[in-house]
Amino acid sequence: MDDSPLQVLTLPTAPYPDQRPGSSGLRRKVFVFQSKRNYLHNFIQSIFSSIDLRDRQGSTMVVGGDGRYFNRTAIGVIVQMAAANGVGRLVIGHHGIMSTPAVSCVIRKYKAIGGIVLTASHNPGGPDGDFGIKFNTSNGGPAQETVTNKIFQLSRTIEEFAICPELSVDLATLGKQMFDLENKFKPFTVEIVDSVESYANMVRNIFDFAALKEMLSGENHIKIRLDAMHGALGPYVKRILCEELGCPANSAMNCVPLEDFGGQYPDPNLTHAADLMDTMRGGQYDFGAAFDGDGDRNMILGKHGFFVNPSDSVAVIAANIFSIPYFQHSGVRGYARSMPTSTALDRVAKATKIELYETPTGWKFFGNLMDAGRLSLCGEESFGTGSDHIREKDGLWAVLAWLSILATRRQSVEDIMKEHWQKFGRNFYTRYDYEEVDLDAACEMMEDLEMFIVDKSFAGQRFAVGEKVYQVERADNFEYSDPVDGTISRNQGLRIIFCDGSRIIYRLSGTGSTRATVRIYIDGYETDPDKVFQDPQAMLASLVTIALKISQLHNRTGRSGPSVIT
């Protein structure tokens, strides 16, 4: 073997205009990364360049990915570029796989300056699927907009990148690998780690594992079924739920990470986790859950496939928060939800006199509140739930939280949910997604809609469908002023709030990889105890009609219906 130090090269490149990170990093079709020369290199260099050289030199960074197609290729390039950009140590998941929550946990554990997460979350994988790159900062959470804007600016003017083309790491072997580089005094270190162990150590200190083990594997144990959908979470589910908490092997399905997620969308909802739903309907399991590709999302099901809406899920966890030892010790500082998430959480916050924050979509807004010690528990309607133990949403944490509630209350998921609605009222909730809509048509519709609803004459207007009459209380384009640092985020979604607390929200997605996705969120509030058990789609039909009428969405986009209803 040749021991001469590895060459560090600076190579010329030309910028791309379209590397603006969305709500969750840069997401594109795999072929874009493969076919556009240096597309990956440019973005990675822009990430490194966005970090002040003094902070970057000799620093530790974490790299993880959900294991999708192109993950290993990208890690190979990132390692070569990290070394050439002065990073001292890279901590990488075994085989290059690390769930998003585990990346957050590992960044915090190693006091890294940040991390790169290679995931397109719940989007399909494989050569024809999506790939994504997200940058997290030292708090373990997604970079704030000031940082992502800086990355974008750098990507628009980039002229060269630094790389050690001969450097190659072995992702399959745990432990340290050292490399001597030309013109560098210290060797560059790569550490391949067992992130499952780090994550397990963390959750062991949050939940009462003895009580969970008793419920899951003791006498009269309950039966659970968890679907990792061939994403990154499989090894975590196996190790923590099966090996440590004693669940039988049939509790865990699709736990081998696959580059194409077995050809399915690794998306934990009723459409894509249909297999789990079918199994749950059979009635032999008491509790079910599915996770997305990178393990930050979760869907909770009860026996016979009883569906827990994610907006309700976070509200139930809040209402039962002291079932979780972590909160018994740390206390509860505040709750938060993204603006489109139903207001179910607000009602628990109000009843328990805890501060409630309403933030724009995306986890990064929660991170600031958590760092300032103002937030303990939060959630999004898009199957995201989490707490201040890390700075990402955390699918497995949500499952352990629900199991803790079951262990304390000894009731079924359905009974817990129904009692909750009787006590707090029910927020019926649905989301309509119109995917791959023409971008200009979508933007123009949003602009016209904004003009229409912010007009003074709009407040007070009544909309009637059948017997139901909804009167507008107020409407706006949601704007958020961060209570910690005062940053203002504008244009975060159009909202119409009715006098009875019901809401209609319109938003353009920030995570799509092609064209535009229009989302309509319908949140209908009902306190009549006789009505809280009715079917959500039936209960919301009038509000849906109103939402479509006001926006003229079908006319404007040429669509006759949504691509997905959640």
Residues that bind Zn ion (CB under 5 A): 121, 292, 294, 296-297
Task: Retrieve residue 52's tokens.
Answer: 């002040």
Binding site partner of 389, from ligand G1P, Zn ion, none, Cβ cut-off 5-8 A by kind = none
Assess 392 for contact with ligand G1P (CB under 6 A).
no
**Nearer Cβ to Zn ion (28/420):** 28
Give least dist CB 162 to ligand G1P, A. Answer: 30
Binding site partner of 294, from ligand G1P, Zn ion, none, Cβ cut-off 5-8 A by kind = Zn ion
Contact 48, 82 (CB under 8 A): yes
* Dist. CA 378–CA 313, nearest whole Å: 10
Give least dist CB 119 to ligand G1P, A. Answer: 10
Mask of contacts with ligand G1P, 319-358, x by CB under 6 A? -------------------x--------------------
Task: Retrieve residue 188's tokens.
Answer: 């560059």
Residue located via tokens 């890690």? 75
DSSP assignment of 434-447 equals EEEE-HHHHHHHHH
First-to-last alpha carbon distance for the chain, in angstroms, is: 57
Stretch that binds ligand G1P, among 128-136, 378-386, 449-457, 458-466 (CB under 6 A): 378-386
Give me the amino acid identity at 165: P
Size of the site for ligand G1P (CB under 6 A): 14
Give least dist CB 370 to ligand G1P, A. Answer: 15
Q: Which of 59, 100, 361, 566 binds ligand G1P (CB under 6 A)?
A: 361
Give least dist CB 297 to Zn ion, A. Answer: 5
Beta strands, E only, 181-297: 188-193, 224-227, 252-253, 287-291
**Nearer Cβ to ligand G1P (93/493):** 493
- Using only the alpha carbons of the chain, give its radius of gyration: 24
Cβ count within 10 A of residue 475: 22
Strand (E) or helix (H) holding 299: strand 298-302
Binding site partner of 292, from Zn ion, ligand G1P, none, Cβ cut-off 5-8 A by kind = Zn ion
Phi, psi angle pair for 53, to nearest 5°: -55, -40
Give me the amino acid identity at 459: A
Mask of contacts with ligand G1P, 503-542, x by CB under 6 A? ------xxx-------x-----------------------
Cα 100–Cα 104–Cα 105 angle in degrees, nearest 5? 115
Contact 412, 302 (CB under 8 A): yes
Assess 99 for contact with ligand G1P (CB under 6 A).
no
Cα 351–Cα 356–Cα 362 angle in degrees, nearest 5? 140
**Nearer Cβ to Zn ion (227/294):** 294
Q: Which of 286, 312, 380, 523 binds ligand G1P (CB under 6 A)?
A: 380
Phi, psi angle pair for 300, to nearest 5°: -110, 130
Among candidate residues 430, 382, 432, 424, the one with its CA nearest the CA of residue 526: 424
**Nearer Cβ to ligand G1P (19/123):** 123
**Nearer Cβ to ligand G1P (155/509):** 509
Binding site partner of 337, from Zn ion, ligand G1P, none, Cβ cut-off 5-8 A by kind = none
* 10-49 binders of ligand G1P (CB under 6 A): 23-24
**Nearer Cβ to ligand G1P (482/526):** 482
Give least dist CB 213 to ligand G1P, A. Answer: 31
Assess 382 for contact with ligand G1P (CB under 6 A).
yes
Assess 269 for contact with ligand G1P (CB under 6 A).
no
Give least dist CB 477 to ligand G1P, A. Answer: 16
**Active-site residue, from 23, 46, 99, 121:** 121
**Nearer Cβ to ligand G1P (380/388):** 380
Position of minimal CB gap to Zn ion: 121
Binding site partner of 320, from Zn ion, ligand G1P, none, Cβ cut-off 5-8 A by kind = none
Assess 363 for contact with ligand G1P (CB under 6 A).
yes
Give least dist CB 393 to ligand G1P, A. Answer: 7
Contact 311, 427 (CB under 8 A): yes
Q: Which of 96, 362, 386, 524 binds ligand G1P (CB under 6 A)?
A: 362
**Nearer Cβ to ligand G1P (24/254):** 24
Strands 252-253 and 224-227: parallel
Beta strands, E only, 372-515: 377-380, 384-387, 426-437, 462-465, 468-477, 480-481, 488-489, 494-498, 503-508
Give least dist CB 535 to ligand G1P, A. Answer: 24
* Dist. CA 197–CA 233, nearest whole Å: 13
**Nearer Cβ to ligand G1P (383/470):** 383
Give least dist CB 416 to ligand G1P, A. Answer: 24
Binding site partner of 511, from Zn ion, ligand G1P, none, Cβ cut-off 5-8 A by kind = ligand G1P
Q: Which residues contact 274 (CB under 8 A, 6 or more apart)?
A: none
Strands 287-291 and 224-227: parallel
**Nearer Cβ to Zn ion (117/356):** 117
Active site residue 121: yes
CB crowding 420-457: b at 16 or more within 10 Å, else e: bbeebbbbbbbbbbbbebeeebbeebbeebbeebeeee
* 117-146 binders of ligand G1P (CB under 6 A): 121
Binding site partner of 134, from Zn ion, ligand G1P, none, Cβ cut-off 5-8 A by kind = none
* Dist. CA 304–CA 486, nearest whole Å: 47
DSSP bridge pairs for 477? 494
User: In Å, what is the CA distance from 437 to each residue of 361, 443, 512, 522, 554?
Assistant: 20, 10, 11, 20, 11
| Catalytic residue ranges | 121
Binding site for ligand G1P (CB under 6 A): 23-24, 121, 338, 361-363, 380, 382, 384, 509-511, 519
